[in-house]
Structure formats: C-alpha cells, structure tokens
Structure 1
Amino acid sequence: MSDSQTTHRQAWRRTDDLTPGATRIKLVEEALPLPLDPTSALVKVYAVALNYRDANIANGGNPWPVIPNVILGNDAAGEVIAIGDKVKTLQVGDRVAPIIDTEYVSGREIGRSWLAANEDGVMADHIVFEETKLVKLPDHLDWISAATIPCAGVTAWSAIKGAGPGKTVLIQGTGGVSMFALKLCRAAGARVILSSSSDEKLAQIQKRYPAPPILTVNYKNSDWHEEIMRLTGGAGADIVVENGGAPSLVQSMKCTRRGGIVSQVGYLGNQDPAQLSELIPTIIDRRVVLRGINAGSKYDMEDLCAALSASETKLDDIIDKVFPFSEAEEAVQYVWEGRQIGKVILRL
C-alpha cells in the first residue's frame, strides 16, 4: 500500500563544513525513496530525540566513519502511513521507531550499520525503513517520550543488566542515557549514585527524586572514586554506567566491587591513551567485567518496550527541553554545550 500524496520530505543534513562559525547542519527538501519496497514502511515522524552523539557527528567528532552530508539523528517516533504489499508485521496507523543499528536485530549479527553514520538518520519529517528494522512503541507514551527509547533507552537498558534490589549502580552524568538508567534502576529497586561536574545539576536531580534519596558525587574532585568507595562501605558499586572513556575508566574500575561490571556507554572526555596506563593491573586486581555498550539489538528494544508497557512507566521527568523541528541547529548546539539534564527533543 503506498501513499501517493507524500513524495518529498524535509530533513536536516550535515554540511560537513567544520570551519569555526560555519553552519553544521542544513534543512533540505528532497524526494523520498519511493516507490516503497514490498517489505518497507513509510513513517511520518512526530518527534526526534537528540543525543550527544548527534552533536558530536555534526561537529566532526565521531570516532567512526560518517558518510558525507548524512541526515542527523538516530532517535525518532512516528506513525506508519504506508506499507509495501508484502509487509506482514505492521499496518497503517502503528506507532513505531527504527532501531539505531539496522544490522543488530537478534544480537548475533556480525555487521554494524548505525543511523546518522553508516546510513541516513531520522531527523526528517518522513522516513522509510524495512519492517524488520522497526519496533512498535508503548501505547501509553506520547510521541516526545517515546522518541527517547531507541538510543538512550536501549543503551540504558543494556548498561544496567544485572541491576536489581540491593544492588548499587554508579551512573555518570545527567544526559539522556544517564537519566534513563536512573529511572530503570529505581524501578528495579537498585540504589543509585549519580556523578556530575555540576553541584547545581546534582541538587536538581535530588530534588526531583527525593525518595529514596539519590547519593551524589562531584567528579571535579580528583579522588571521586574514593568517595564512591566510602558511600558503598568500601565494597564499590556493583555496576558502573561509564560515560567518560579514557579520563575516567580506570577510576571507575577502582570503585567497582571486585567481580563487578563497568558498562562503557560513552566517550565524553578527552581520549588520551596515557590515562589508561593503569588499566591492565586495575582490571585484573578488581576482577572487573568491562562490557562495551553499543545501544542494543532489536530484541533488546522490544524487551524494553514490553517492560515500560507492563508498568506503564512515564518518561516525562527525563525530558529537559523541547524544540520545534525548525530549530534543530539550536537544539544540537544546546546538547553540544552539555546544558541539558535528560533528553532534548525536536517536535514535528
């Protein structure tokens, strides 16, 4: 089934101009990839959620290759408005989001194809995907909340696997993944320690989630890992959601309990290999399991959506700011400057 009335879209593409002061992304109008393949669906997008990764790609900082003038964005929520004649799992009107690594369905695939890097992303008013790359979204969430699920949500879901009642999870930062992880940990009955370089942000989070109280640490203190050990009675955190990379990884391991898990989800700091000189002795001494988190598979996303639906979990409290689609440049800069606590959304 095709929608003959929708033939073009508006999309934000990277300019690839990295000179100081230059525009990083531009709004273009272009033809949609039509007619639809027999197993594809056309989706009208209602919300796009931004991640630090989007700002990093826009500013040329992604550590992996990016195709020229790529459409930005990997988190979106929308409605199916047309389907190919061999689509079996979707119908017009379904609320869906694409997975962010379109090669990562079951978790056993050996390839990788990331939106906004290896292929065009989702910062557009219409997108086209194979039905196998789309996941149905929880009915109880509005478009803005639902758009946070594919990247931030699935990354957090994967990062805290093993958390539960009585476990302690150290979450670094106050961005989208961190706030989603905080929500999931509290729902699972785990104790949360949150770190940030901003006392103001930490105070806001403590006020937002008063009971049970969230323990906080400012990582501007060079010995912040020792404070984590003190807060955990010398045992260390069971799981660390690690966001910094080279500047913080060894310290994160030093405050992980022996045999605990460090989930590496980001690389926000300056990636200087010299800062990893203690990595090998520390990982051996602490018997730490270091797991790289590259979001998750389609099955992981389906599991997260099922969990959110079963508990009818709301996500309004992790939304920091909503921009109109026309202000995507301002939204990307807002994220690039690290001004958010939680998720930044483009509303269409």
Structure 2
Amino acid sequence: MTSTQITTRHAFRRTDNYTAGAPKLKLVEEPLPLPLAPTSALVKVHAVSLNYRDANIANGGNPWPVLPNGILGNDAAGEVVVVGNKVKTLFVGDRVAPITDTVNMSGREVGRSWLAADEDGVLADYVVFDEEKLCKLPTYLDWVAAAIIPCAGVTAWAALSGMSVGKTVLIQGTGGVSVFALKLARAAGLRVILTSSSDDKLQMMKEKFASPPLLTVNYRHPGWHEEVLSLTQEVGVDIVVENGGTGSLVKSIKCTRRGGIVSQVGYLGKQDACDLAELVPTIIDRRVILRGINAGSKYDMEDLCAALSATQMPLDDLIDTVFPFQQAEEAIECIWQGKQIGKLVLRL
C-alpha cells in the first residue's frame, strides 16, 4: 500500500431519532478502516448525491432492516488516493464510485448488501472499498454530475432495459430516478409520458424538454391511467418506470399494453395492501411483466458509463440544487418534503 497520512474521516451518521423536528444526522470524526486490505482502495469523496431512500431511512420509513446509526448515502463520486498492493484494476487518480448493492456484480448473485442500509454508506469525505465494488466513472463529467450515476442513473438504466426506438414509456414523478430515466429515454428514441402531482412541475419539465414535446399527466386525477391510455390510442405504454408502489401499481398495469413491462423502482406513495385487491386479475389480463429494480449490477453500471462516455451526454440539467457537505441535514429535509425536481447533490 502506498504510504498515507490519512487515518480519520468526517462522516454523517444517522441519529435514529425519528421524532418530528429532531436532527436526523450527526457529523462525526472517526478512524478509517485501516490498514487497507490488499485488494481495497481508499477513495477521496468529491460529491454525494442524495436519494429519497436516504430521507426515508433517516426518518425511519425504510421497509427493510438497517444498520443502527449507519452512514447515509449510496450515490457518490470520488478519486482513488491509495490502493492496496494487490489491486489490479485501479490506479491512484482514477475517478470511481461504489455500486449500490455491493454483492450485485452480474445480476445472478443470490444475496445482497445495500449501502446505507446493510452497511455504511458514502456520506463521508473518505471511504474504503474493495476494488471489485468500485466502478470507473466517465471522465468528461464533473464530480457533481458524476455523483448521480451509481443509484439514480443505474436504476433508470435497468428500469428501461429491453426498450427500443419508437416505444412508449410512462415515467412517474420528477425525482432523481425519474428525470434520469427521462433523459435516457429521450436519447434512446423513446416516446415519454411523464406524471406528477404538480402542474407547475409538469410545466417546468415541458419547458426544459420541449423538443420533441413532452406528454404529461397529473396523477392527482383519479382517472390518470385512462388519460395515459388515451394518449396511446387505448393500447397502453410499452413500459412503466413505477415509483409510487401500492397506490399506483394497479393503475400502472391497466395503462400498460398487453405483454408490456412495469419496472418497480420505488414506493414513494403511502403503502396500503388494500390498493392491490385487483392486482392478480389485472396482471393476468394485461399479461404484464412486473419486475423489481434494485438499482442494478456492476455490469449495468459499466454499461451505463460506457454509453454516457460514448455520447458525452450532459447531466447538469438533472441537478436541482448543490449543497455544501456541511448542509446534509438541510438537504435530507428538502428531499423528505419533496421540494426538488431532479437531484440534490452535496459537494465536498
């Protein structure tokens, strides 16, 4: 291992105090996990992108167990500063990010380990990962833009898998995964229908993505799925990037063409099993493939980074606000209240 004087890091750990108004994060200084293992790398973090799951975990809403007082964050971009003496694929100076599920290399693994849940996340100025869990980032992007790739970007990429030019996709919401999916879908020649509960947000998105014209539907309308069907001449969309969960899933299936795909990427709405009373007959009638998307594999991330590098696609227009690292608490609250359109990023 290359010699280094770096032995500690600053990180935001959860307080696990779910009382309304109470601080959800605590800034700590702690020892780094040293000595560095032979196949590991020490990474200096330059930017951390926050997701809804971070706010949900911080507020006690995650439906899966989490590490007590863990470090939040699973979207980051950083620079390799030290490598172990058996590292073969990385060099000092490489721009990298860890994958969200550190077990999911090829997509065939039977286990999982999620950053910021099963293990500590990346909301820190230094992190340590084994080289196989790190993926090289496109060099044309700045740190802030690159930081949105590992979770939001890879989730959007995996959710759109199987689509081809001319297909129609329904994308729910204007959060990080949704806007990334919108950008990828438009670049791939897909027709996009975007939903939101806010007419103001929809209008902003129509102005930002004006050519070709963006089709939009307000999902506060009880019959929003019928509006989607109307926009597709009653055939239905080819694929749905489903963000709501139980409250929207059945309607999403109803406006998907027979034999289409629903990619379940989130659960932003209030979850109530009673909303699923029609699920079985509807999914059979529509012959829809319902697939769960947990970000994606390392292979997915490598494929996305290759596509971005080849097209030099700008990602700055997907960033809502950039906060300094010290304002992590404020940024988490902003996401929890759903104020953003696109991504919130912390710059170190």
Q: TM-score normalized by structure 1? A: 0.99
On the 8 A contact 1:74/1:121 being kept in 2, the answer is yes
Residue in 1 aligned with 2:170? 170
Alpha-carbon shift at residue 165 of structure 1 (Å): 1.5
In structure 2, what is the Cα distance between the partners aligned to 1:188 and 1:181? 10
In structure 2, what is the Cα distance between the partners aligned to 1:59 and 1:162? 35
Alpha-carbon shift at residue 106 of structure 1 (Å): 1.1
Partner SS state of residue 314, structure 2: coil
On the 8 A contact 2:13/2:71 being kept in 1, the answer is yes
Unaligned runs of 5+ in 1: none
In structure 2, what is the Cα distance between the partners aligned to 1:158 and 1:21? 36
On the 8 A contact 1:107/1:296 being kept in 2, the answer is yes
Residue in 1 aligned with 2:127? 127
Partner SS state of residue 247, structure 1: helix
Q: Which runs of structure 2 are paired with 1:1-348 in the superposition (5 Å)? A: 1-348=1-348
Alpha-carbon shift at residue 5 of structure 1 (Å): 1.3
Alpha-carbon shift at residue 3 of structure 1 (Å): 4.2
Alpha-carbon shift at residue 92 of structure 1 (Å): 0.2
In structure 2, what is the Cα distance between the partners aligned to 1:313 and 1:21? 39
Alpha-carbon shift at residue 20 of structure 1 (Å): 2.4
Alpha-carbon shift at residue 225 of structure 1 (Å): 0.2
Partner SS state of residue 248, structure 1: helix
In structure 2, what is the Cα distance between the partners aligned to 1:317 and 1:218? 22
Alpha-carbon shift at residue 25 of structure 1 (Å): 0.7
In structure 1, what is the Cα distance between the partners aligned to 2:262 and 2:106? 23
On the 8 A contact 2:4/2:82 being kept in 1, the answer is no
In structure 2, what is the Cα distance between the partners aligned to 1:2 and 1:153? 32
Aligned identity (percent) is 71
AA paired with 2:328? Answer: A
Unaligned runs of 5+ in 2: none
The size of the alignment, in residue pairs, is 348
On the 8 A contact 1:164/1:185 being kept in 2, the answer is no
Alpha-carbon shift at residue 164 of structure 1 (Å): 2.2
In structure 2, what is the Cα distance between the partners aligned to 1:13 and 1:2? 28
On the 8 A contact 1:83/1:91 being kept in 2, the answer is yes
Partner SS state of residue 295, structure 1: coil
Partner SS state of residue 307, structure 1: helix
Deviations 1:225-268 (CA, angstroms, capped at 9, x unpaired): 00000000111000000000000000000000000000000001
AA paired with 2:283? Answer: I
The CA RMSD measured in Å over matched residues stands at: 0.6
In structure 2, what is the Cα distance between the partners aligned to 1:313 and 1:216? 24
Moved over 6 A (4+): none
AA paired with 2:47? Answer: A
Q: TM-score normalized by structure 2? A: 0.99
On the 8 A contact 1:171/1:241 being kept in 2, the answer is yes
